[in-house]
A and B are shown apart, each in its own frame.
Chain A
């Protein structure tokens, strides 16, 4: 907690630059399985995510994309195997991550108070929170809604607020679970822009999506998952041009049965 206090610069421009603390990456997922209700939903999954590229997790419905995100983020505990943040050292890796869900979960408070609460949980002192809130709200185009009840925003604005809230805590790694699945094209575009900016400023993006166009435009590598198994981890161009597995080829043609 004290680390965060020491890091939080009072100036607005520094407010959203990612933390200068040592990176918690790479993320090593080692033989991870996850069972629920007597079923194996994630089966012996292993991969490593290095700092840098934007990763998109693709796969048909029920493949285990969201579960994989939650296992990586620490919201779920693997039934077998390990999730390791190899650079974390003595840091609590969870505090260097944030997650944006498909349906934004906003507190029954104002827009600004939603961000304030996240900053408070991250140990940012009260005096330093104001400039950070102002900064992320203006960067996400929400400045005029600062004092509005968060749950009265439109769907797109709510998702932008989720991103702003995540951004304010300067995450090194941002997980996004189909962040634009319920948004119209304009809102989708705005959300994608914010994600791109966060990526440019050094936040590691790990996202699931059903939108192949979005994957192509906004990702550098693909984790392709089918029936709880990791089938491929390939650069984005290779995945679309020459998928390694029959399942991936079938998925891209829209023929994969689930």
Chain B
């Protein structure tokens, strides 16, 4: 109990004091997770839309695979990326291991299946409504993709938020490929894991509270914008 109350005091203290270390860690966390989500959106939105609109042999297998990948264990992804980027690995020459870039890559791999799978569902539903009208106006399914993604924009926000949630919360992948190096690759989640193993539960929980608060703020802001916009456009 003392740990918990102590944690709130610590969290408050960290926030009020605007602790330089904390700012650095939060900044890196946001940079890595937001970059990973941006990459995942670039790949996941078109991939999901493509799977929604085109039928081809093996499509169902890809969809099942994609859905399964949503539950991909972060440590496994971390391990695979580690093996690819390690000195003896195929991409070792890039020298990316234990850098923020490696963490972005690992998180993008984790988030892309979520964005793609949710996008597929959203676009497939919208295509049911739009397909005849679009084809009547002369749009091919491929040509309709940008319009469908645009018109599904408010629903897709949820997919992107789900992806961001996954990225900002995971610790396994960034721990392995980033190494939790102080001032270089230390993020919120890896810092929490470290403080727990050091026994400073109050600091760990304090960091946790900061992480949850950040996540709440981002989700609340997005939700408000989404609900207001949806009320107008749908």
Contact = CB atoms under 8 A, between A and B. Distances in A.
B223 to A, nearest CB: 18
B136 A75 contact: yes
Interface stretch (B4-12, B40-48, B126-134, B206-214): B126-134
Interface string B123-156: 0000001101101111100010001001100000
Contact of A105 (B129, B138, B232): B129
B151 A108 contact: yes
A109 B132 contact: no
Interface string A109-122: 10000000110011
A107 B138 contact: no
Interface string A20-59: 0000000000000000000000000000000000000000
B136 A151 contact: no
A117 B133 contact: no
Nearest to B135: A75
B233 A73 contact: no
A105 B135 CA distance: 12
B158 to A, nearest CB: 15
Interface stretch (A80-88, A94-102, A231-239, A243-251): A94-102
B234 interface: yes
Contacts of B143: 121
A122 B233 contact: no
A122 B134 CA distance: 12
B137 A101 contact: no
Given A121-B139, A149-B232, A151-B233, A101 B133 contact: yes
Contacts of A73: 136
Nearest to A177: B132
Contact of B132 (A94, A97, A105): A105
B234 A108 contact: yes
Taking residues whose C-beta sits less than 8 angstroms from the other chain, chain A's interface range is 20 to 34
Interface residues of B, number: 16
Contacts of B136: 73, 75, 97-99
B137 A121 contact: yes
A108 B234 CA distance: 6
Interface string B103-135: 000000000000000000000000001101101
Interface in A118-139: 118, 121-122
Nearest to B129: A105
A9 to B, nearest CB: 20
A152 interface: yes
Contact of B147 (A107, A149, A169): A107
A108 B138 contact: no
Q: By CB atoms of chain A within 10 A, which of B136, B143, B150, B151 has the most?
A: B136
A162 B233 CA distance: 17
B233 A108 contact: yes
Contact of A95 (B138, B151, B232, B233): B138
A98 B151 contact: no
A122 B132 CA distance: 16
A121 B138 CA distance: 6
A132 B176 CA distance: 59
10 contacts: A75-B132, A98-B136, A99-B132, A99-B133, A118-B137, A121-B143, A122-B137, A149-B232, A149-B233, A165-B137
Interface of A: 70, 73, 75, 94-95, 97-99, 101, 105, 107-109, 117-118, 121-122, 149, 151-152, 165, 169
Given A94-B138, A117-B137, 4 more contacts: A75-B132, A75-B135, A105-B130, A107-B147
